[in-house]
Structure 1
């Protein structure tokens, strides 16, 4: 056969294969389009085509696991923002108190437009771009503060005890002065980065103090999410601890950490252990491959590499029912490898991994569960919907170190933590700074004066139990 004819035949074969692959599988796609068309043309009430499509996608994913989903562009942007820790706004963390009319500033983000303007923790947001926040949903307030880089937004703010009067005009009041009356700030939106790694409390310059107050060289490192910048932030914390002289113990707080990027969590583990299995991942065999035993080629094992930081320093990890996903892997890794004692309560139990598959519209994606991770001892972490408390799932604290604060104690811990996390007012004290100086948090016992009563070990019983675990580890170390 002439070479030219052979090329033509090959091209025709390829074209036929492409056409065959693109056909509607079993005609279901054709039937779906046909049904949609009849609904749009014949249903008594007009139906939105997009609404029909979304309902169909939701119905399809309802047959899968609870973590798989159809994700539209707006939702994907929110997910990307959470993982990157970056968003475009003015840098205000807000809270809505059901007992109050206004939205309250939990803390400004350090070095953000709001912080540089002089807004501080405890201040009330009365209006955004002239729209009153009285009765406004928190999510709507957050959305109103977001926007394009370089755009401006007017934020009316008042100190906690000031009366909410008429809307005031935009002012150029100096941020060096403590906010004493109602003001409106014209803020320019910019890229704001929220940190995922934090310490015990804020210093006057907004930086973190990594040493636990009231303790002898005990470090506290809290990780709220495993995002794109977590490794760099953790490196900063570790460098600060090494520079100050190795601490006598480390408390790694993963309470409330819902997970994040699995790859980052694995790297964090690799920073903390020198050897051993970090995690095993069970995957579905690739399409078209011959099934093999699970132990042969369906399990990927990731091991640690030499070079752990602060490897001889005793460590405890704090966990709770909101510790999930990638955070559970870190806790399980450190427990199974004997690197840390776990203190707190049983974790959430999310042991599956989701992959994002882009669709042809270039905007929406499928979030599909594609694998399951197992702790180093090969036990499962994931809790299925039918699992009971008596079954094996999640990560449990070490024996004798289970503790779960509830009720008033839990509320007191949260309020105390919000105060310690608040960034001081730029150039002057905030309302919460003044509150700290004027009153002490009620004692939980074990202290003779107000200042001692407000120390971490007395306010947060989980930290207190963690300090006990560190004391046991330190006592068992060989004398130098």
Structure 2
């Protein structure tokens, strides 16, 4: 999902009289915003406004004088894939996603080897209830072949269906299966938690929305209460987390840090350059932390992982993350019913690393097979409660975390 990330302190640019909202695009799509289409028409005033913002605020200085103002398609092709013009409906969807709700079927998808592959489904969503599974490949929507279609086209087909029954055909284990479901408004539960063994706990973040910080704090306090005292350690699972709001990533990082930089952003205009610093107070009182990531952990998830890793507060376990290290700003166009989502900065971890295109490298590298032993859905369903070997692996990593930074804290 291309999702909305609001800075904890909105960037007020007095010169342009606009409010900039820092955003980081989420990679997995619950909904999809297409790149500006050649059929989109703009008034001369709109075209001038868009070109002005790109020339003034885009992270790279582009020579725009060569482009014709009435045709912005070529201009957008020179920008990164996260910079887009958003229509009124897309803008509304963006705000809904930031608040943890949207209307859809609840699938997370990615284009892999020219096929649209379902990464997973949201808990309680129409897709989960219909039996769609992670790994399914989309074949058809309402009998229309989508094997050679992109995510934007598929999103349009799903929206076109409105609230009517949708027939989704997927490929699974070399056979095809057609399932019936309906789009509906979904409230995205971004946090799940449970106690493990040895007074350790597990918390999973599905995404970072405007409620995630309060949800994480509430879950941790509940875990401490159910444990009857302080936790001995915490596993934070960010696998398959595509990102979300910047303010949420910063605030959640701050929950576990006594001091230190959380993240910095750097761009061409003054307000794009910011440093976020942790305030005193650690909700776990120094108990060791393990952060689980994989190649689908992106943007805000990478901010949290990088902040805890660079501040020597947690060890990161898993496979290298996606590498989405740019920051977008949401700039209203015209009367504010549409907007320009524009990359205005890149973010850097506390040690000064840019992870854009590189990702977060784990302290302990696990293969996909190794990570599968810590299946997220199995943990969330409590299916590991009787599997001491797998729970012991989580305990071992928490011991590793404690030993890893014992001499550094």
Fold shared by both chains (TM-score > 0.5)? yes
* 2:244 aligned partner: 260
Alpha-carbon spacing, 1:423–1:380, altered in 2? closer, same or farther (3 Å) = closer
Instruction: Report whether the alignment pairs 1:306 with 2:264.
Output: no
C-alpha deviation, 1:249, in angstroms: 0.6
Aligned counterpart, 1:195: 189
1:276 equivalent among 240, 260, 263: 260
TM-score between both structures, scaled by the size of structure 1:
0.54
Report what 1:420 is aligned to.
378
Alignment of 1:116-127 (within 5 A): none
SS in structure 1 at match of 2:240: coil
Paired position in structure 2 for 1:372: 346
Gaps of 5+ in 2: 1-44, 53-63
Unaligned 5+ runs, structure 1: 1-18, 37-52, 166-181, 200-209, 287-296, 386-392, 425-432, 437-449
Higher Cα Rg, which structure = 1
Q: Which residue of 1 aligns with 2:397?
A: 466
Q: Give the whole-Å Cα distance in 1 for the aligned partners of 2:255 and 2:315.
A: 17
Give 1:355 shift. Answer: 0.6
**Cα distance 1:421–1:144, how it changes in 2: closer, same or farther (>3 A)?**
farther
Helix, strand or coil at the partner of 1:331: helix
Q: Are 1:153 and 2:154 counterparts?
A: no
Shift in CA distance, 76/457, structure 1 to aligned 2, threshold 3 Å: farther
The answer on 1:69 being equivalent to 2:83 is yes
The total of aligned residue pairs comes to 339
Q: Which residue of structure 2 aligns with residue 88 of structure 1?
A: 103
Does the CA contact (< 8 Å) of 1:67 and 1:354 recur in 2? Answer: no
- Higher relative contact order (CA closer than 8 Å, sequence separation 6+): 2
Cα distance in 2, alignment partners of residues 154 and 230 from structure 1: 31
Higher helix share: 1
Deviations 1:345-395 (A, max 9, x none): 444444331112222375543222222333333x13244x7xxxxxxx644
Q: Any idea what SS the aligned residue of 1:380 has?
A: coil
Structure 2 vs 1, CA of residues 75 and 190 (structure 1 numbering), >3 Å: closer, same or farther? closer
Return the offset for 1:221.
Answer: 1.4
CA change 1:304–1:352 in 2 (3 A) is same
Structure 1 residues 32 and 324, CA gap change in structure 2 (3 angstroms):
same
Secondary structure of residue in 1 paired with 2:219: helix
Matched residue SS, 1:198: strand
- Written as runs of structure 1 = structure 2, the 5 A alignment for 1:59-458 is 59=77, 62=78, 64=79, 66-73=80-87, 76=91, 79-89=94-104, 109-110=123-124, 151-153=163-165, 190-199=184-193, 210-212=194-196, 215-245=197-227, 246-286=230-270, 299-360=273-334, 362=336, 364-377=338-351, 379-383=352-356, 394-397=359-362, 401-406=363-368, 409=369, 413=371, 417=375, 419-420=377-378, 451-452=387-388, 455-456=390-391
CA contact (8 A) 1:90 1:146 kept: no
CA distance in 1, matches of 2:112, 2:272: 49
Q: CA deviation at 1:402?
A: 2.9
Write out per-residue CA displacement over residues 381-430 of structure 1, whole angstroms, 9 at most, x where no aligned residue: 244x7xxxxxxx64433xxx431314xx26xx559737527879xxxxxx
The RMSD of aligned alpha carbons is 5.2
> TM-score scaled by structure 2?
0.62
Higher strand share: 2
Contact kept? 2:312, 2:405, Cα under 8 Å: no
* 2:68 is the alignment partner of 1:32: yes
**Following TM superposition, by how much is the alpha carbon of 1:314 offset from its aligned partner in structure 2, in angstroms?**
1.5
